[in-house]
Amino acid sequence: MIDTKTLTQLGAHVEPPQSPETAVLETVPFQRGDGPPAIVRFTCPEFTSLCPVTGQPDFAHIVIDYAPDAALVESKSLKLFMTSFRNHGAFHEDCTVMIGRRIVAATKPLWLRIGGYWYPRGGIPIDVFWQTGASPEGAWLPDTGVAPYRGRG
């Protein structure tokens, strides 16, 4: 059984962080085992941040795939982290890469990729992709499941 005594958010009432910088990403131990690495996917189809210029909301479908090594990101802390962007003004590219880098810093995975599929503002959708390097040998990497923009549905 995993010791959860060090987790401060899981099972507790926690106010959403006011910014991504103050959000805490917690981890739990992971035993990788033999064979190809597992790929863990988080999908956030209703991600929201703010335009840093106008303050208007921006919306995205975020897909995060990672191959954990010794730690998993705890999902409640990830949800709170993602929610913290609702008050955060940053460009699409900055938000997408910041999410990926924070997860890498917290979990030190074998590999991570993130896709930010941003809905149009001014008539142009912006898709942002970032990864830590080549995908792990032998790992099954499914398609992200997000179609190129055609009304995203």
Catalytic residues: 51, 58
In 3-state terms, what secondary structure has residue 36? coil
Query: Are 125 and 118 in contact, with CB atoms under 8 Å apart?
Result: yes
State the Cα torsion 47-51-56-57 to the nearest 10°.
0
d(CA 64, CA 142): 12
19 annotated ligand-binding residue = no
15 annotated ligand-binding residue = no
Residues 6+ apart with CB under 8 A from 24: 8, 9, 17, 77, 80, 81
92 annotated ligand-binding residue = yes
61 annotated ligand-binding residue = no
Structure-token pair, residue 8: 């401060």
93 annotated ligand-binding residue = yes
What distances in angstroms separate CA 94 from CA 1, 133, 150, one per listed residue?
38, 19, 24
Radius of gyration of the chain (CA): 16
Residues flagged as binding site for substrate: 73-75, 92-93
Annotated binding site: 73-75, 92-93
